Amino acid sequence: MATNEMFCKDLGPGAVNWGGNTIVGDASGDAFGDIIFSTSHDVVEVLEATKGTSPIDHIFTGEGCEVVVPMTRATYARLTTVIPGASGSGTTANQVVVRSVVGQSMFDNAKKLIIKPVVGGVISTDESQWLTIFKASPKLTDTQLTFNNSSQRFFNVTFIGYKVRAKAVGEDVGYLYKFGGNV
């Protein structure tokens, strides 16, 4: 199979790296369930009176992306990294304290997020298999910690993708995400 065909045909778990740190997919923490990447394109209809109520065109008005990562067996350090407003505390960093983040910009906390396939317990080092969001910022979503004998506890972390605002190495203004290797 050619390298450029592997990205969409792979099956299996993934590792998520955010800001240079693996947050799920290694010995210190994993995902439980699906790591889901989704995109959206916003459009508006173009109408003309003589053509009736059916659009004659659509104009793109925006696009976005996000990744949902269900974290399980996460360490306090990893939770502190991905929960907005969280900080480690205690003499042995044995707790996570969360404070209000009302009014804070999510973009200001945005970092590169990379999803890498895991095959046979090994995280891929082949960039042609990676999915990269250039600027992503986390928020905790739909997390319910259930204490019982039949449900595993996990934290749903949603990373929202933002367009690049300033040119950097491998990034240009307006970039949102990429499939595969170097830009």
Q: How many domains does the chain have?
A: 1
Predicted confidence (pLDDT) per residue in 144-155, tens digit:
788 899 888 888
Predicted confidence (pLDDT) per residue in 75-125, tens digit:
788 888 888 888 886 666 688 888 999 999 999 999 999 999 888 888 888
Average pLDDT on 33-53 reads 93
**Which domain, by its residues, includes 73?**
3-47+55-179
Return d(Cα 32, Cα 152) in angstroms, integer: 9
* CB-based contacts of 27, cutoff 8 Å, min separation 6: none
Q: What is the pTM of this model?
A: 0.85
- Asked whether residue 49 carries a pLDDT value surpassing 50, the answer given is yes
Judged on CB neighbours under 10 Å (0-12, 13-18, 19+), 132 is: buried
Amino acid in position 62: G
CA 15 to mean position of chain CA atoms: 11
Token output for 150? 């039949």
